[in-house]
A = this chain, B = another copy of it.
Amino acid sequence: MGEPRTPGLRAQSVYRALRRAIIEQALKPGMKLPEDSIGEQLGVSRTLVREAFGRLAIEGLVELKPNRGASVAYPTLEEARDVFDVRRGLERLVAESLAGRLTAAQAAELEAHVRQEEKAHGQDGPESIRLSGEFHIKLAEMTGNALLLRYVQEASSRCSLILAIYGRPHSSECAVSEHRQLIEALRAGDAARAAHLMDHHLQAVVTRALLTPRGERDIHEVLAPYALSEGLNPP
């Protein structure tokens, strides 16, 4: 009836739904994802759910183990570092591509966005995080490079997952002032400075947010300190 009859669209919908659910932590890292129940929940067959899992696995949002099904990814700290490193490289490229090539309209849009960020800075609900993420996506879009955009989006969503696991509770991720400086450098056409700013900005995000591992993966890691404090000797 009201269902989308367009082919391939339902597959896309399933993918997007799961993606959002993971990023917003409705589905928590490590959580099991049975094909059956999810398909039922979403009103599609396992086929489409599997298809979505495939894409999400490639993007690093779900883990896919043979004969054991899918679960929300739980990146290790090492993987987290890798992702941030790549993201820095990609976004530096964004900055370089954009330096001196921003139209007036684009610059205005970015500044409007930053003003929004500033407004949302007080309450640190998910709003603030979402906005600072979108700033980077907007920049990537403005390069006009579709592949670059895709990679930045991918890295960005993985970062969300990572911060959900290892991030400090109330780290407001991106400092608004850093975004402002960046825009200024882009306007001035100073590619080197823009790249440098972006690099340090993302570096700062890491050190601000990604230091304290909280919430551990499995019993082992959780209990290890207790065992030690009792003089036990776990394998």
Contact = CB atoms under 8 A, between A and B. Distances in A.
Interface of A: 6-8, 50-51, 54-55, 58, 60, 66-67, 79, 82-83, 85-86, 88-90, 92-93, 97, 145-148, 151, 155
A101 to B, nearest CB: 13
Number of identical protomers: 2
A35 to B, nearest CB: 14
Contacts of A50: 51
A62 to B, nearest CB: 14
A79 B144 CA distance: 10
B148 A82 contact: yes
Contact of A151 (B86, B92, B97, B145): B86
Contact of A147 (B67, B82, B145, B146): B82
Nearest to A93: B89
